[in-house]
Amino acid sequence: MPGHFEPTPGGGAAVTLDEVEISIIRSLAVQLLELVGPGPGGDAPADPLAELFADGPTEPPADPVLRRLFPDAYGGPGEAPTKPEEAAELTERSSEFRRFTENDLRARKREDALAVIRALDGLTTDSNGGAVLRLAADDSRRWLGSLNDLRLAIAARLEISDEDDADLLYRLSDEDPRKPMVMAYLWLGGLQETLVTTLMP
């Protein structure tokens, strides 16, 4: 899947996608949307003001993909505390941070995924089964956020945590059941990289 983003006048970007590529991205974005969920109050909150000030969760998600999408704010890899009291303090700080930020982060990820789905639904393919996706600068940023989320989700499913893990992907045999997911991961990485380039001044 050789498609890559190119800059357009006004700070936007464009990419040619075929029907298979459109279907893959849309399917992954829908799955991401379902995984992130409708939010704390569902699709239609009775009191939007109360929803705005609702506390978020304080515990990390159980699902490894959601843990990758919504990581703890404190105590990342290589920062393991040496004393129990330090561990307790890090846990408390992470819980407080999560409580006040995760709802907003989930909302942003939902909006990004919805922007991707709507953009793809608005495409009309030509006689060759291809379509040109054109994004304004703001849409490019939403797409960039969603492409990043999709790659994080796939990386979590593939148990990729560092560059060494990623290097192993290139050596998988064609018979490996992970191969289609790996190909999607690498292809999305190419799209993400070229989209970043279009946003550079």
Residue at token pair 């307790």: 88
* Burial class of residue 71 in the structure, from the number of CB atoms within 10 Å of its CB (0-12 exposed, 13-18 middle, 19+ buried): middle
For the four alpha carbons of 19, 110, 133 and 152, in that order, the dihedral sign comes to: negative
Reported confidence tier of residue 18, pLDDT bands at 50, 70, 90: very high
Reported confidence tier of residue 187, pLDDT bands at 50, 70, 90: very high
Asked if 7 and 13 touch (Cβ cutoff 8 Å), the reply is yes
Rounded Cα distance between 27 and 49, Å, is 33
Tokens standing for residue 91: 């846990």
Rounded Cα distance between 150 and 170, Å, is 19
Asked if 139 and 48 touch (Cβ cutoff 8 Å), the reply is no
User: What would the mean pLDDT of 130-142 be, rounded to a whole number?
Assistant: 94
Rounded Cα distance between 142 and 183, Å, is 23
**Which pTM does this prediction carry?**
0.79
**pLDDT, tens digit (0-9, with 9 covering 90-100), for 147-186:** 999 999 999 998 887 776 767 777 888 888 888 898 999 9
**pLDDT, tens digit (0-9, with 9 covering 90-100), for 57-80:** 667 677 888 888 887 776 555 555
Name residue 131's beta-bridge partners: 17
pLDDT for the residue numbered 31: 95
Of the chain, the percentage scoring pLDDT greater than 70 comes to: 73
Reported confidence tier of residue 41, pLDDT bands at 50, 70, 90: very low
Pick the more confident residue, 50 or 7: 7
The Cα diameter of the chain in Å comes to 65
pLDDT for the residue numbered 159: 87
pLDDT for the residue numbered 1: 38
Asked if 181 and 158 touch (Cβ cutoff 8 Å), the reply is yes
Task: Compute how many other C-beta atoms are within 10 angstroms of the C-beta atom of residue 193.
Answer: 12
188's enclosing H/E stretch is: helix 179-199
Max mean pLDDT among 38-42, 86-90, 128-132, 167-171 falls in 128-132
Q: Which range among 52-61, 94-103, 135-144 shows the weakest confidence by mean pLDDT?
A: 52-61
Task: Compute how many other C-beta atoms are within 10 angstroms of the C-beta atom of residue 114.
Answer: 15
Is 60 exceeded by the pLDDT of residue 22?
Answer: yes
